[in-house]
């Protein structure tokens, strides 16, 4: 990722791919007289100015298409993150020694343990969508200032209520009731258990009923909830993605195509267009499988399609996270490039850099 594309991400700030962990002044509507500054998300001095990103790496064979990476970015200038910096790709197996090598500093394990746990949780998330982050940190009981996640209590509660409603047919199945049964007070209680995922005995019995392998029930049900969340996120972006597809499909005049640089640029635009088409098509196929299994449960009280779907749902949620990361990065580039106008050299470089990231590993320098 070059500095121009990182700057574009900072400007457009698509929340699902970029988490700005730096301290900052809150907008007037989010601050009170006693607390106008949002403190840094990480406590250790080495991490106070970092930005964490979900970046898209080289396209790979198989269902995901584009590999999503979690990356720590440390700016050279703490006040101007877009003036360059260094970054490191990491996973949920991050060790203290990895951070010491990256920062070229000896770190006291006790002072950074809490931040290390935060970083590992961020790596496990398929997306930095604010609701998903807030929910994950609350479930993990990791202390964090929720204002960093840019989602209000009302929004979070509304999302939870929507997702809990989708869990009621599963609760009905556990009670051997018709999936469209209403008015049974036990449904609300079991839907809450399926949402909270905190009752080990209930989850064991429920997982057995759904033929989920031993020890995988919690992760499987959480992934199922994740697919429901992503379905809503993709739907919200549909109109903007149509604009992006149309922009990438604009044709050049024949005389322009005689220029070698223009031909190369159009090849890059074509690569992004094809990658977007694959991501959108694959996501649509995932949601179709999800909807069919859910509809069979509701309309026919038939749990077999759901049992079959749950076998691969954990892979689906990872795939959807990667696909959303690709869509969001393309949308960020589009917003900046479209504003600059066609033919703008900086806009063209953004397109070329993003396309290049799909062809090979990105360098350590951002």
Question: Which of 239, 242, 218, 238 lies closest to 230 in space, CA to CA?
Answer: 238
Q: Is it the case that residue 329 has pLDDT exceeding 70?
A: yes
Beta bridge partners of 87: 73
* pLDDT score of 362: 46
Q: Which pair of tokens denotes residue 206?
A: 């429920």
Average pLDDT estimate for 98-106: 92
Average pLDDT estimate for 16-36: 74
Give the separation between CA 183 and CA 188, rounded to whole angstroms.
9
Residue with the bigger pLDDT between 192 and 235: it is 235
Burial of 1 (0-12, 13-18, 19+ CB in 10 A): buried
Question: Could you tell me the CA-to-CA distances from 14 to 75, 106, 129, 189, 227 in Å, in that order?
Answer: 19, 34, 9, 36, 19
The pLDDT-based confidence of 31 (bands split at 50, 70, 90) is: low
- Between CA 13 and CA 19, with CA 17 as vertex, the angle to 5 degrees is 65
Q: How many CB atoms lie within 10 A of CB 298?
A: 15
**Per-chain mean pLDDT for the chain:** 81
Residue with the bigger pLDDT between 113 and 354: it is 113
The pLDDT-based confidence of 44 (bands split at 50, 70, 90) is: very high
- Between CA 156 and CA 166, with CA 161 as vertex, the angle to 5 degrees is 130
* pLDDT score of 64: 42
Q: Is it the case that residue 268 has pLDDT exceeding 70?
A: yes
Q: What pTM, to 2 d.p., does this model score? A: 0.75
How does pLDDT run across 122-170, given as a tens digit for each residue?
Answer: 998 888 888 788 888 988 889 888 888 877 777 777 777 877 777 777 7
The pLDDT-based confidence of 292 (bands split at 50, 70, 90) is: very high
How is the chain split into domains, by residue range? 3-129, 159-365
Please tell me the least confidently modeled range out of 48-62, 91-105, 180-194, 342-356. Answer: 180-194
Question: Which of 43, 67, 41 lies closest to 52 in space, CA to CA?
Answer: 41
Please tell me the least confidently modeled range out of 56-70, 253-267, 288-302, 305-319. Answer: 56-70
């Amino acid at each position: 990722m070059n500095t121009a594309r990182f700057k574009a991400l900072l400007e457009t700030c698509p929340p699902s791919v970029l988490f700005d962990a730096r301290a900052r002044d809150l907008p007037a509507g989010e601050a009170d007289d006693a607390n106008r500054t949002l403190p840094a998300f990480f406590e250790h001095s080495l991490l106070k100015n970092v930005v964490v990103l979900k970046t898209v790496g080289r396209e790979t064979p198989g269902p995901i298409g584009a590999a999503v990476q979690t990356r720590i970015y440390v700016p050279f200038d703490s006040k101007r993150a877009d003036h360059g910096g260094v970054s490191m790709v990491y996973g949920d197996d991050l060790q203290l020694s990895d951070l010491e090598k990256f920062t070229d500093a000896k770190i006291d394990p006790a002072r950074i343990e809490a931040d290390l746990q935060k970083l590992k949780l961020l790596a496990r998330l398929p997306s930095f969508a604010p609701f998903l982050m807030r929910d994950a940190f609350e479930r993990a009981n990791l202390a964090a200032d929720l204002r960093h996640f840019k989602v209000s209590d009302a929004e979070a509660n509304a999302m939870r209520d929507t997702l809990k409603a989708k869990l009621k047919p599963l609760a009905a199945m556990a009670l051997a009731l018709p999936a469209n049964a209403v008015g049974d007070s036990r449904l609300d209680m079991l839907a809450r258990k399926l949402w909270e995922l905190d009752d080990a005995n209930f989850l064991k019995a429920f997982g057995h009923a759904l033929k989920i392998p031993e020890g995988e029930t919690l992760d499987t049900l959480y992934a199922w909830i994740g697919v429901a969340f992503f379905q809503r996120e993709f739907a919200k972006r549909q109109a903007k993605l149509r604009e992006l597809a149309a922009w990438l499909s604009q044709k050049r005049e024949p005389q322009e195509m005689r220029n070698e640089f223009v031909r190369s640029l159009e090849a890059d635009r074509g690569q992004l267009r094809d990658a977007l088409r694959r991501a959108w098509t694959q996501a649509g196929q995932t949601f179709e499988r999800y909807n069919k299994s859910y509809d069979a449960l509701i309309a026919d009280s038939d749990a077999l399609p759901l049992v079959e779907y749950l076998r691969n749902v954990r892979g689906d949620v990872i795939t959807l996270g990667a696909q959303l990361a690709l869509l969001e990065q393309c949308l960020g580039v589009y917003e900046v490039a479209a504003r600059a106008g066609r033919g703008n050299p900086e806009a063209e470089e953004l397109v070329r850099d993003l396309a290049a990231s799909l062809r090979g590993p990105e360098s350590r320098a951002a």
